[in-house]
A and B are shown apart, each in its own frame.
Chain A
Amino acid sequence: MEDQSTGELVRRAGQGDAEAWRALVGRYSRLLCAIARSYGLSGADADDVMQTTWLRLVERLTLLRDPARAGAWLAVTARRESMATLRRLGRERPLKGTGPSVTGPHHVVFGRDLAASVGAALETIPPRCRDLLELFAASPRLSYAEISAALEMPVGSVGPTRARCLTHLRRRLDGHT
């Protein structure tokens, strides 16, 4: 199930296949978490965003114009739901690229030196870089189109931004190791 294409999983879930649905949830939950977090949402507010986003996919499983692009569709929907949640809370989106992580440490620090240094360095680079690098590290892999939809970034900028963010991270590692 893990190696099936997103389009195939959507099609099978649309026929009532619960296993295919589980696989979709496994594939895209990290993406939805990262989007809610990028809007400064955590805890119950982030859960609301994810719950509503999944419910919207369920209601449209058989109606999606392009099932293969369901990941990008989820990303756009999660962004819209994040904005709706902020409006309901009477809050603004926090400014991008400023401030420390709003959710505290969300990385398991490993005993291995490099892993520990990377975990620490991640906390010191701009949040948008951190989000992007995390999405690149997600398993199974997310496509450029999905990452672009999640971060409101043109597809053509995803690669160069990733390179810039890795340079950021390397520079911080130099400072730590």
Chain B
Amino acid sequence: MRAGEPSDDELTGVLRACLSPVPERVLALGQAAFVWFEPTAALATLTSETRAAPAGVRGSGTRLLTFAGARVSVEVEVCGQEIVGQLVPASAAEVILRSPAGERGTRTDEAGSFALSEVPAGVVSLLFRLTDATSVVTSWIRV
């Protein structure tokens, strides 16, 4: 730095003034995420994802996902806009599909299986309310 040139701090100050504000849309995106806060549900995180694709076909086929939780795990198959899955060990539960497009519910059958169709594209997460009043939520995935 030579005499008369702006100092590091001055330059950083000018940079601060030059930065355009973070767009309102971006802030809104972050703020909206908080509505999905579910502190009482146990988190089941994605531990494996495999793709059962027919040979020679790219970008299609079924994704097999496992979410592991402390007591209950969730196994799902995602095929196009359909999700079928089950709770392990098999448990009866109310199933709620969560997505920025809204919430939708169904129930598992006696074997702990469930199916959801017309799942909106984008991020989704599944919330299960079990009969013992506990609940389990999967981490977010993109479908």
Contact = CB atoms under 8 A, between A and B. Distances in A.
Interface of A: 13-14, 16, 18, 21-22, 24-26, 28-30, 32-33, 47-48, 50-52, 54-63, 84, 88, 106-110, 114-115, 118-119, 122, 133-134, 136-139, 163, 166, 169-170, 173
Contacts of A25: 27, 30-31
Contacts of B3: none
B16 to A, nearest CB: 4
B1 A137 contact: no
B18 interface: yes
A40 B8 CA distance: 28
B116 to A, nearest CB: 19
B14 A118 contact: yes
6 contacts: A30-B22, A48-B123, A58-B34, A107-B19, A107-B20, A115-B14
Given A52-B140, A115-B14, A115-B18, A29 B27 contact: yes
Interface residues of B, number: 35
Interface stretch (B36-44, B86-94, B101-109): B36-44
Given A51-B123, A107-B19, A134-B15, A13 B39 contact: no
A88 B142 contact: yes
B18 A163 contact: no
A139 B22 CA distance: 11
B126 interface: no
B39 A62 contact: yes
Contact of A107 (B18, B25, B142): B18
A118 B139 contact: no
Contacts of A22: 31
Contacts of A28: 30
A55 B139 CA distance: 9
A115 B39 CA distance: 46
A106 B20 contact: yes
A175 to B, nearest CB: 13
A21 B22 contact: no
A16 B37 contact: yes
Best-surrounded residue of A88, A107, A163 (most CB of chain B within 10 A): A107
Contacts of B133: none
A166 B137 CA distance: 46
A32 B6 CA distance: 29
A167 to B, nearest CB: 8
Contact of A118 (B18, B123, B140): B18
A57 to B, nearest CB: 7
Best-surrounded residue of A52, A55, A57, A122 (most CB of chain B within 10 A): A55
A51 B16 contact: no
Interface in B9-30: 11-20, 22, 25-27, 29-30
